A and B are shown apart, each in its own frame.
Chain A
Amino acid sequence: MINVLFILYRVIAGLLALVALVNILRAKSLEKALNHAILFVPLLLRTLLIK
């Protein structure tokens, strides 16, 4: 169960990182792009288990 949840955790973090990345590229204003970028960095690092 714990292993399944851990895999799901990484999948969800990866999914959210991907969504943040797409939103950075689609953002119509600098402030939104910056805010998505702030979310993207830790989500990506956690997906890759760097941190």
Chain B
Amino acid sequence: MTETYLILAMAAVVLAVAALLLRKREGFMPAVIILVALAAPFLSNQGFRPREVVEGTFAYLDVAMWMLMGGLLVALLYQNGTFEYLLNKCLNRKLSNQLKLMGLLFWIGVPGMLTGSALASAATTGVLAARMLKRRGLPRAKAVEIAAAGSFLGMVLPPLCAPAMLMVLGRAGSYNPSFEGYFVPLLAAGLPALIVYGLTCGQHLLGEMGHDTQEAPAGSAACLLPLAVVFVLVIAHNFLFMYLPFLWYPVIYLIGFLLAAVIAPRRVNPLTAALEGPQTVLLPAALMFAAGSLNEVFWLTGVTGNLSTIFVQAPDLWLFIIPVAAIFVLARVLGQPFGWALAALAPTLINGAGYQLSPLRLMAAGIILAAASYRSLLGTATIPSAIHARLEGDEESLALPVASCVPVMIVVILSLVIALVPLDMLMI
């Protein structure tokens, strides 16, 4: 038992030192978490464990491949002008501001849905939409607020949600369960937030929007075909798997990528998109591998087992509430990567509440970890700041109103409901 405390203490010390040294450089955090996975057992006299560090990453390899292929598709659709065409169409339609905001949030969120990462939306459709809204006369803060909300909701909406995948797959170490059956629960957590935010804030956010002075980009509705095929195949993958051949997400995205290379509003080199695609999901995918390494080290040094023994008789509600609260506070105060580091341990603790209860609770814990990425007190990699940094013009820091957190709050509340009320029937 002493070794367990020693390893945990060493991991906390190395992470805390890294937190102080790399406060503004969160890109180094995956490497730091891997360093923690190597250093903590070594400093606790449990040996040097490179094998566990390498093996741990395989728990997340398949879903990381989903994300990376999604990144390739998103980069191509961004570069070939499909997203620009879609967002322009959405903004130019004669709709009420509420419906327009809902449509805008949905299309901004598409890269997040396909990759499970808000950064993929923030770097592509988020910045694109913010620029378009600014050109139509919206203040920078409102443009960033809409783009950030769309990026966040895209991450939560199905089929993929990287933080939820991190938690769900982390419960069994390298014997990873699949991330299947979470389409409807993710939809139940994300869609009401999109609708409520659109209805309540549509007029306030888009009320003063004017017309774009720039010419609309060329393109026809045909460019939507790759995206439409991907959507149909994803729906079939999730709901018609009894009748259709099982197509794996990367294969679906590969089909979309090949179609997008042929049918596009403007010609681009698909190889450029293929090389730049992984950049949009680089940090979450690397963090996932790093958390997997740390998770495996905790498993094979007995830390996880010892903690499970300690908490075996703890009430299952506390085994959900306390780790989730710790993840939220840590991610919110120190930054997202620190929450992800704790996620190397949290799934097992939450799973300790009983396997039957855990799938939706783990998904909810992941969504709450995602919600912590919306704002951060000390960390830098928040969704609004990622969009703000990519926008041209004013360099001063951006203050968003509390109302901008409405979708995040709704998502958190719904996640808690899904986790605490037995809603297993949502898992198809």
Chain A interface residues toward B at CB < 8 A? 1, 5, 8-9, 12-13, 15-16, 19-20, 22-23, 26, 29-32, 34-36, 38-39, 41-43, 45-46, 51
> Which residue on B lies nearest to A38, using beta carbons?
B286
Residues B249-279 near A (CB distance < 8 A) = 250-251, 254, 274-275, 277-279
Q: Known interface pairs A38-B31, A39-B64. Does A19 touch B274 (Cβ–Cβ under 8 Å)?
A: yes
Contact of B254 among A12, A26, A31 (CB under 8 A): A12
User: Does B225 belong to the interface (CB within 8 Å)?
Assistant: no
List of A residues within 8 angstroms of B289 by Cβ: 38-39, 42
The answer to whether B245 and A41 have CB atoms under 8 Å apart is no
List of A residues within 8 angstroms of B245 by Cβ: 1
Chain B interface residues toward A at CB < 8 A? 25, 27-28, 30-31, 34, 54-55, 57-58, 61, 64-65, 68-69, 72, 245-246, 248, 250-251, 254, 274-275, 277-279, 282-283, 285-286, 289-290
Cα of A36 to Cα of B64 in the assembled complex, Å: 12
Task: Name the distance in Å between B373's Cβ and chain A's nearest Cβ.
Answer: 17
The answer to whether B275 and A16 have CB atoms under 8 Å apart is no
Cα of A45 to Cα of B310 in the assembled complex, Å: 36
Q: Known interface pairs A35-B31, A38-B289. Does A46 touch B250 (Cβ–Cβ under 8 Å)?
A: no
A interface secondary structure, majority: helix
Q: Known interface pairs A16-B68, A29-B27, A42-B61. Does A35 touch B251 (Cβ–Cβ under 8 Å)?
A: no
List of A residues within 8 angstroms of B68 by Cβ: 16, 19, 39
23 sampled A-B residue pairs with Cβ under 8 A? A5-B251, A8-B251, A9-B248, A9-B250, A12-B250, A15-B274, A19-B68, A19-B274, A19-B275, A22-B275, A31-B28, A31-B31, A34-B31, A35-B283, A36-B282, A38-B30, A38-B31, A38-B286, A39-B285, A42-B54, A42-B57, A43-B61, A46-B58
B interface secondary structure, majority: helix
The answer to whether A45 and B54 have CB atoms under 8 Å apart is yes
> Which residue on A lies nearest to B277, using beta carbons?
A19
List of A residues within 8 angstroms of B54 by Cβ: 41-42, 45, 51
The answer to whether A32 and B254 have CB atoms under 8 Å apart is no
Task: Name the distance in Å between A48's Cβ and chain B's nearest Cβ.
Answer: 13
> Which residue on B lies nearest to A31, using beta carbons?
B27
Q: Known interface pairs A8-B251, A41-B54. Does A34 touch B28 (Cβ–Cβ under 8 Å)?
A: yes
The answer to whether B27 and A16 have CB atoms under 8 Å apart is no
Cα of A51 to Cα of B289 in the assembled complex, Å: 15
Cα of A25 to Cα of B411 in the assembled complex, Å: 40
Cα of A51 to Cα of B52 in the assembled complex, Å: 12
